[in-house]
Structure 1
Amino acid sequence: MKLRAVLGIALLTITASTQALAGATLQRVEQNKELVGVLMESYPPFSFLNEQNQLDGFDVDVAKAVAQKLGVKLKLETPSWDVIAAGRWSGRYDICICSMTPSKARAEVFDFPVQYYASPAVIVVNAKDDRIHSAKDLSGKKVGLTSASSYESYLNKNLVIEGAEDTPLSYPFEDVQIAPYDTDNVAFQDLGLGAGVRLDALLTNLVTAQPRLNQDKRFKIAGAPLYEEPNAVAIEKGDAEWNAKVRQVFAELKADGTLSKLSQKWIGADISK
């Protein structure tokens, strides 16, 4: 009887702690009347510092819309991508509306309540470079990318996009030298120095790359897109109540046209569908 009683108490304790975790984020947001979002400081047109030195962009505006729906103020923080993508935030951040591609590895530490846009991953090279025409030409080349990104997993040949496990990716290259950067900005600067000077190519998002290509003729896209990147909202794993609330808010933002309008504003096309 004593053993049963102890087991019963332990079970109740586990159940209570699980229930407390399930509603922890929403309770914190409502009590503090503040949503703490996390994203990159330099990932235009999704997030960047504008001329007033304020965070701006598609992801920023989406985060503002989410906070407005929740009836709370928004606080944005910009740690390194390594910190964001590592997860296990321990309550420091409530949500990542930060262009994260859901992968099998990330799904171990995050839940992805909703996909809010999609865009292709592409190879960018120096405009004077005629060596690279497709992914197979990356063999033996030095390729820049954002550290801990899906592009790094792709070049390591272990990217599994969550929800697309039945569509394996193609890796037609060998022995790529990966050059990780904190942001795309420095990678583009290094690529702009010339073909093979510091970089041979970089991998990035087509939507992010296109404005640079339109304005700077030193760069061009090489070949076809590598894969279609779904980008999802990320939250700490295991909080069912917060997961459901985020789904509800984004359903409202889609239904009332907010996501479409913000996409048209920042991208010039609706990538939210």
Structure 2
Amino acid sequence: MTRKGELTGVLMENYPPFSFLNAQNQLDGFDVDVAKAVAQRLGVKLKLETPSWDVIAAGRWSGRYDICVCSMTPSKARAEVFDFPVEYYQSPAVIVVNAQNKDIASGKDLSGKKVGVISASTYESYLNKDLVIEGAEDKPLKYPFDQVQVAPYDNETVAFQDLALGNGVRLDAMVTNLVTARERIAQDPRFKIVGETLYAEPNVVAIEKGDGEWNAKVTQVVAQLKADGTLGKISQKWIGADISQ
């Protein structure tokens, strides 16, 4: 990667405030700035691509991409195709409903409801009650709901659009990242967060499996960005708090 002088990163195009297209139609956000900082520390140019999340999460990139600074949560299934050099932030999972909703106040109220999530995400695994968070196997997750109708989306913006149509029109609720939800609600009062945090998950930098030298280099660079306060500053800029610790 350093030999070619360019770092090719992947992330989502519609996941504010982590990655999104700004008013100038340029990629912006927390993950974008972290990827830029990694490239800068490596002394190379950054090239960002935005394939679908299914393509990103499936791995086996065959050298097309070098790195995913894209809010990925580690799992045993993903560990078969990825190495996870380092965690770079923690994120709580929450329930979002239409602002007019009076039926859902907590996790137990999701029973029998149609709930939108990003496809192939940990949120989907959680609603299917088969989520295992890598490195936290000793902390059993709580599933306060019975059977849920899981509605996977490739694009979270579309899920929010469906939820905005009204209670039960297309969705009853969504499960997503607290930070993402707050960002959306700040711009659109048609939504609200209900209940307690469902669980918190680590978000890691991911690379293709098997390159020990690249793994060690990414670990070193992100550790430096944490130690010198760069990650903390990026976090304060986009989140209003330091979630990098």
Indicate the TM-score class for this superposition, using the shorter chain for normalisation.
Answer: over 0.9
Within 1, Cα distance between the matches of 2:186 and 2:26? 24
Q: TM-score, normalised by structure 2?
A: 0.98
Match of 2:160 in 1: 188
Number of matched pairs: 245
Within 2, Cα distance between the matches of 1:201 and 1:54? 30
1:47 deviates by 0.3
Provide, for residues 77-106 of structure 1, a one-character-per-residue CA deviation record: whole Å limited to 9, x for no partner. 100000000111111110000000111221
Matches within 5 A, 1:247-262: 247-262=219-234
Matches within 5 A, 1:147-186: 147-186=119-158
1:142 deviates by 0.4
Match of 2:22 in 1: 50
Query: Aligned to 2:197, what secondary structure does the other structure show?
Result: coil
Matches within 5 A, 1:87-102: 87-102=59-74
Within 2, Cα distance between the matches of 1:115 and 1:240? 17
Match of 1:13 in 2: none
Provide, for residues 198-218 of structure 1, a one-character-per-residue CA deviation record: whole Å limited to 9, x for no partner. 100001000001022223221
Query: Aligned to 1:105, what secondary structure does the other structure show?
Result: helix
Query: Aligned to 1:213, what secondary structure does the other structure show?
Result: helix
Work out which of the residue numbers 214, 218, 221 in structure 2 matches 1:246: 218
Query: Aligned to 2:195, what secondary structure does the other structure show?
Result: coil
Q: TM-score, normalised by structure 1?
A: 0.88
Work out which of the residue numbers 77, 82, 92 in structure 2 matches 1:110: 82
Query: Aligned to 1:30, what secondary structure does the other structure show?
Result: coil
Match of 1:228 in 2: 200
Letter paired with 1:205: N
Match of 2:56 in 1: 84
Match of 2:169 in 1: 197
Letter paired with 1:135: G
More helix by share: 1
Work out which of the residue numbers 92, 97, 122 in structure 1 matches 2:94: 122
1:220 deviates by 0.9
1:237 deviates by 1.1
More strand by share: 2
1:52 deviates by 0.8
Query: Aligned to 1:31, what secondary structure does the other structure show?
Result: coil
Provide, for residues 4-62 of structure 1, a one-character-per-residue CA deviation record: whole Å limited to 9, x for no partner. xxxxxxxxxxxxxxxxxxxxxxxxx1221000000001100000001111100010011
1:172 deviates by 2.2
Query: Aligned to 2:17, what secondary structure does the other structure show?
Result: coil
Identify the range of structure 1 (208-217 vs 46-55) with the bigger mean alpha-carbon deviation. 208-217
The runs of 5 or more residues in structure 2 that have no matched partner are none
The runs of 5 or more residues in structure 1 that have no matched partner are 1-28
Match of 1:269 in 2: 241
Q: Structure 1 vs Structure 2: percent identity of aligned residues?
A: 79
Query: Aligned to 2:70, what secondary structure does the other structure show?
Result: strand
For the pair shown, which has the larger CA radius of gyration, 1 or 2? Answer: 1
1:183 deviates by 1.6
**What is the RMSD of the two structures over their aligned residues, measured on CA atoms?**
0.9
Within 2, Cα distance between the matches of 1:214 and 1:62? 23
